Amino acid sequence: MTQLPPFLEDPGGTRGAIMSATYTALCKHGYSDLTTQRIGDEFSKSKSLLYHHYDSKDDLLLDFLEFMLDQTEEQIPAYGEGGADDHIEEIVDQTFGFGNTATTTEFTQAVVELRSQAAHDDDYREYFTRSDQFVRKHVAHTIRSGIEQGVFQEVDPQQTAALFQTVLVGTMQLRVTNDDKDVLEDSRAAFERYIEEYLIKE
């Protein structure tokens, strides 16, 4: 059984129930085998509501992605109580740990499939552009805070955040498309060395 993230366990309302059903179906079937009918199979209310609110599977999935981004924006803190340097460590842990359990691997696989649609679908491309911009904005804010706190060197926050974003996307891709586990361990070691040498102030 797919484990739902906390904000989808009891989302409330018709849209919330649809989002919960979409998450479960997406994890079970992935993008290519997902249908509106299969989402309906996970939906506790009348399946006709899905067809009433959405014209297609992709229409529903794009709304789902918007919902997930809204939830992320609402819940993610600027940085932890320990300061910006501690929060950067949390970001690295999340980046290289995302998708390393059975449940999150299913969702990571689905997200990678959805991102691949952006290569030829303008709506998906626009969404993932905004999603990536949000991640960059969050990381850049953390880096600026670290510079102000005196724990980070005087780096360019936007450029450094872009590197973090690229590592995040690449890590997700590798985790679900490559069986060589050493590549992630080696990448993390090199990335942490970069942070220690070029970001953290001694």
pLDDT tens for each residue of 80-120:
556 888 989 989 988 888 756 655 788 889 999 999 999 99
pLDDT over 80 at 12, yes or no: no
> What Å distances lie between residue 88 and 4, 111, 164, 174, CA to CA?
26, 23, 10, 21
Domain ranges of the chain: 1-75, 79-202
pLDDT at 46: 85
Percent of the chain with pLDDT over 70: 91
pTM of the prediction?
0.87
Q: Are 191 and 184 in contact (CB under 8 A)?
A: no
pLDDT at 99: 57
pLDDT at 76: 65
Contact residues for 67 (Cβ-Cβ < 8 A; gap 6+): 15, 19
Measured CA to CA, the distance from residue 46 to residue 147 in angstroms comes to 53
Same fold, 1-75 and 79-202: no
Q: Which residue has the higher pLDDT, 27 or 79?
A: 27
CATH number belonging to domain 1-75: 1.10.10.60
Burial class from Cβ neighbours inside 10 Å (0-12, 13-18, 19+) for residue 87 reads buried
Please state whether 152 falls in left (phi above 0), alpha (psi between -120 and 50) or beta.
Answer: beta
Q: 114 is written with which tokens? A: 């959805």
Cβ neighbour number for residue 94 with a 10 Å cutoff:
11
Q: 37 is written with which tokens? A: 């009918």
DSSP-assigned beta bridge partners for residue 152: 200
Measured CA to CA, the distance from residue 185 to residue 146 in angstroms comes to 26
35-88 pLDDT, tens per residue? 999 999 999 888 888 888 899 999 999 999 999 998 887 766 555 556 888 989
Question: For the domain with range 79-202, which CATH number is right: 1.20.1080.10, 1.10.10.10, 1.10.357.10, 3.40.309.10?
Answer: 1.10.357.10
SS3 track for the chain: CCCCCHHHHCCCHHHHHHHHHHHHHHHHHCCCCCCHHHHHHCCCCCCHHHHHHCCCHHHHHHHHHHHHHHHHHHHCCCCCCCCHHHHHHHHHHHHHHCCCCHHHHHHHHHHHHHHHHCCCCHHHHHHHHHHHHHHHHHHHHHHHHHHHHCCECCCCHHHHHHHHHHHHHHHHHHHHHCCCCHHHHHHHHHHHHHHHHHHECC
pLDDT at 100: 65
145-201 pLDDT, tens per residue? 999 999 999 999 999 999 999 999 999 999 999 999 899 999 999 999 999 999 999
pLDDT at 103: 55
pLDDT at 1: 53
